[in-house]
Amino acid sequence: MMSEWWKRGIVYQIYPLSFQDSNGDGKGDLQGIRGRLDYLQWLGVDAVWISPIYPSPMKDCGYDVADYRGIAPEFGTLSDFDALFADVRARGMKLILDFVPNHSSDQHPWFRESRDSRRSAKRDWYIWRDPAKDGGPPNNWLSNFAGSAWTLDKRTGQYYYHAFLKEQPDLNWRNPAVRTAMYDVLRFWMERGVDGFRVDVLWHLMKDAQMRDNPPNPGYRPGDPAVRRVLDVYSADQPEIFEVLAEMRGVVDAYPGRILIGEIYLPLERLVAYYGVGGNGVHLPFNFHLILAPWSAREIAKVIAEYERLVPPGEWPNWVIGNHDQKRIATRVGAAQARVAAMLLLTLRGTPTLYYGDELGMEDVRIPPERARDNWTRTEPGQVGRDPQRTPMQWDASVNAGFTRSEPWLPLNKNFERVCVESQKRDAHSMLSLYRALIDLRRSSAALVGGAKRLVEAPDEVLAYERAEGRERLMVALNFCREPRVLRGVAGRLLLSTHLDREGERFDGELRLRADEGVIADLAARAS
């Protein structure tokens, strides 16, 4: 089997505000996470990625960092962090931090100094431009959270650029001093032991040197987020990013076994460029195409085939079905298909990343406007807020689902008595039992972890593929529809069904799938 942990392993994303509160302030924290490591070990994940835990005014729930080398008081202290790290390590697991290099908080001392005067030593650490002739913004670039991406600083008479909130000014990555400072941040955390970084909006780091206007998007439809009115031709994914990336990779490679995972929303052929050439990009450019593609066997098969074709030789694929920015999988495709999605995620060739709570089938929670926390709901009225997918982890049937003893920072789903770790652990047919079984099977199967993969012919609305390694030959068949389907010309023994009730069943010539059923079968085992 492959030796690198990040190829073999399963990554689990924790949204720290929502995992476990330990001190009764209604917000998750590091001690809370620490107290739940036994669960993660029992579940069988290998690496934990924690969304930002740095000091922050929390305008974007921590993605607005005011100090890259500290821990936000609401999450704990550096010694809490060290204790958490030690406990993760003691369980043989890895810890991945979120690195937010594209922008800082406007409260970061660097930006305070930068905005202080045009002659400030840190002026060029951010992106400042004179107003356009009419006094308006320097170009037509839009914030991802709606409106112009430029905010005028009245005192110094210039605009600064922010791809997100105005409280998140973009750093100027063309400035070598910025790069040096940020690489030192990576070293700081690697010296403390961390195993890698998920790099926030990596494809945004470099912008067009001339800052040309973006072209209008002919595909824009009313109701789309406002940022889609223009195509980000000049504001992201610039060729110069690869020079930065190579430097960043060099910094990380100086510490054995550490990895970079890039957050990148780009079409597949652009996404794979972020592997770099000969290992000078990120180890894993997050592949979000299972989230972006319509949920049908045919569309998903297309994504798989195209992605497998494009991943450069020697590089390793990866798959994601949920995160804190996307609708939860159970809400997007429904409870029954979420089980099929789980089987897909854990049997494809490549590193899977799980989003906390998806292993329970947690759903998006409707958040009343007065309880909204995501400021995007304020900058862009409509259906854009991400609070629904960020609600507290549902641990047990006690008050507040065992997440907190006081009012949780976001409301809990009312279904928590049923959809929670404690009750699903006891239920042999629950989503959690399915995840456990899938993870167990994956861990014990060289074919699932590292084996070759081949899509096979299947009836309409069924996705089927084989995974093989040595003498092991498995088939995964996933029924994307609400009617039964039959695969012909196959023989073997079922190892697992998404319904958790057919294990060991033999089939010879015909493999029957019930509505919304996925199965993993051992083809090497002759049907008797």
Q: Shortest gap between Cβ of 166 and ligand NOJ (angstroms)?
A: 13
Does residue 199 belong to the site contacting ligand NOJ (CB under 6 A)? no
Identify the residue among 21, 98, 232, 315 touching Ca ion (CB under 5 A): 21
Eight-state DSSP code of residue 103: B
CA distance 470 to 524: 11
Q: Shortest gap between Cβ of 184 and ligand NOJ (angstroms)?
A: 21
* Pairing mode of beta strands 452-456, 318-320: unpaired
* Residue among 1 and 292 whose Cβ is closer to ligand NOJ: 292
44: buried, middle or exposed (CB in 10 Å: 19+, 13-18, 0-12)? middle
For residue 69, the number of C-alpha atoms closer than 13 Å in the C-beta half-sphere is: 12
Does residue 63 belong to the site contacting ligand NOJ (CB under 6 A)? yes
Q: How far apart are the first and last CA of the chain?
A: 30
* Residue among 17 and 100 whose Cβ is closer to ligand NOJ: 100
* Residue among 28 and 361 whose Cβ is closer to Ca ion: 28
The binder of 98, among Ca ion, ligand NOJ, none, by C-beta within 5 to 8 A per type, is none
Q: Shortest gap between Cβ of 315 and ligand NOJ (angstroms)?
A: 23
* Residue among 21 and 380 whose Cβ is closer to Ca ion: 21
* Residue among 32 and 518 whose Cβ is closer to Ca ion: 32
Which of 164, 464, 198, 445 shows the shortest CA–CA distance to 320?
A: 198
Does residue 325 belong to the site contacting ligand NOJ (CB under 6 A)? yes
Q: Shortest gap between Cβ of 14 and Ca ion (angstroms)?
A: 14
Total residues in contact with ligand NOJ, by rule CB under 6 A: 9
Region 252-311 residues binding ligand NOJ, contact defined as CB under 6 A: 263
The binder of 29, among ligand NOJ, Ca ion, none, by C-beta within 5 to 8 A per type, is Ca ion
Q: Shortest gap between Cβ of 16 and ligand NOJ (angstroms)?
A: 13
Contact present, 235 and 149 (Cβ < 8 Å): yes
CA distance 112 to 486: 64
Catalytic site residue from 21, 170, 263, 522: 263
- Residue with smallest beta-carbon separation from Ca ion: 29
Tally of CB atoms within 10 A around 515: 12
Give the DSSP letter string of 250-268: HHHHTSTT-EEEE-----H
Helical ranges in 46-148 per DSSP H: 78-90, 109-116
Q: Shortest gap between Cβ of 188 and Ca ion (angstroms)?
A: 24
* Residue among 75 and 416 whose Cβ is closer to ligand NOJ: 75
For residue 53, the number of C-alpha atoms closer than 13 Å in the C-beta half-sphere is: 30
The binder of 200, among Ca ion, ligand NOJ, none, by C-beta within 5 to 8 A per type, is ligand NOJ
SS3 16: helix
| Token couple for 521 | 């079968």
99, β-bridge pairs? 199
The binder of 517, among ligand NOJ, Ca ion, none, by C-beta within 5 to 8 A per type, is none
Identify the residue among 7, 27, 94, 453 touching Ca ion (CB under 5 A): 27
Give the DSSP letter string of 408-468: -SSPPPGGGGTSSHHHHHH-TTSHHHHHHHHHHHHHH-HHHHH-EEEEE---TTEEEEEEE
Identify the residue among 10, 47, 48, 201 touching ligand NOJ (CB under 6 A): 201
Catalytic site residue from 29, 200, 358, 466: 200
Q: Shortest gap between Cβ of 15 and ligand NOJ (angstroms)?
A: 9
Q: Shortest gap between Cβ of 417 and Ca ion (angstroms)?
A: 23
**What value, to the nearest 5°, has the Cα angle with vertex 252 and ends 53 and 161?**
55
The binder of 106, among ligand NOJ, Ca ion, none, by C-beta within 5 to 8 A per type, is none
The binder of 344, among ligand NOJ, Ca ion, none, by C-beta within 5 to 8 A per type, is none
Which of 261, 157, 249, 243 shows the shortest CA–CA distance to 206?
A: 243
- Residue with smallest beta-carbon separation from ligand NOJ: 63
Q: Shortest gap between Cβ of 30 and Ca ion (angstroms)?
A: 9
CA distance 524 to 493: 8
Long-range Cβ contacts of 70-76 (<8 Å, 24+ apart): 71/30, 74/25, 74/27, 74/29, 75/16, 75/28, 75/29, 75/30, 76/29, 76/30, 76/31
The binder of 21, among Ca ion, ligand NOJ, none, by C-beta within 5 to 8 A per type, is Ca ion
CA distance 188 to 110: 18
SS3 190: helix
Binding mask 329-348 for ligand NOJ (x = CB under 6 A): --------------------
Binding mask 162-181 for ligand NOJ (x = CB under 6 A): --x-----------------
Map tokens 């037509």 to a residue.
Answer: 140
Region 29-48 residues binding Ca ion, contact defined as CB under 5 A: 29
- Clarify whether 263 is annotated catalytic: yes
State the residues that interact with ligand NOJ by CB under 6 A. 60, 63, 100, 164, 200-201, 263, 324-325
State the residues that interact with Ca ion by CB under 5 A. 21, 23, 25, 27, 29
Residues annotated as catalytic are 200, 263
